[in-house]
Amino acid sequence: MTDGIFIAIGIFTLLCGSSVILCKSPVYSAFSLILSFFGLAGLYILLESPFIAVIQVLVYTGAIVVLFVYVVMLMNPNSSGAYRNWIFMIVSAFLAWAVSLYLLKALTLGVAPAVGGAHALSLKEVATLLFTKYLWPFEILSIFLVVMIVAVFALAKQSKETPNE
């Protein structure tokens, strides 16, 4: 039964992903992105990571995609078509297919058998891990976020100094 749900949600996610890259209007692409994030969240729950599922919805759909939609609304749509020329399409399709196949082979090479003991991480466990095993990345990530904020400020400031028109 769960297999079926898994497959259904998986196919749904894939369809939404295709829609992201295929829709002509960027707003539609943004919507499809939201839907695929939801699908992924469902998949995470089925893989016994509810914590990540929630974070996914909160951060990705709640912040990132919102940002995307804001910017989409600030820009004009393209007047001259959504896709590049056909050479690009064929070449990129081939390349993506090839890379994907290699990845698949690479990943299936070293598959370990399923070990038991997987359990859903509680918040407490996550926090403990953050402050013990993953302290270094945690701190560096905070510095990184500060840098990002400064960068965004700098970018916003520059746009004020460049003359309009």
Contact set for another protein, span 54-83 (CB under 8 A): 55-56, 59-60, 63-64, 67-68, 71-72, 74-78, 80-83
Q: Is 156 in the site for another protein (CB under 8 A)?
A: yes
Q: How far is the CB of 29 from another protein (least distance, A)?
A: 5
DSSP 119: -
Q: How far is the CB of 138 from another protein (least distance, A)?
A: 8
153: its two tokens: 């400020």
Compute, in degrees rounded to 10, the torsion defined by CA atoms 125, 130, 131, 133.
90
Q: Is 135 in the site for another protein (CB under 8 A)?
A: no
Q: Is 131 in the site for another protein (CB under 8 A)?
A: no
Q: How far is the CB of 30 from another protein (least distance, A)?
A: 7
Residue from 35, 38, 43, 124 in contact with another protein (CB under 8 A): 43
Which residues neighbour 29 within 8 Å (Cβ) at sequence distance 6 or greater?
Answer: 19, 20, 21, 23
Distances (CA, A) of 34 to 19, 109, 111: 11, 33, 31
Q: Is 123 in the site for another protein (CB under 8 A)?
A: no
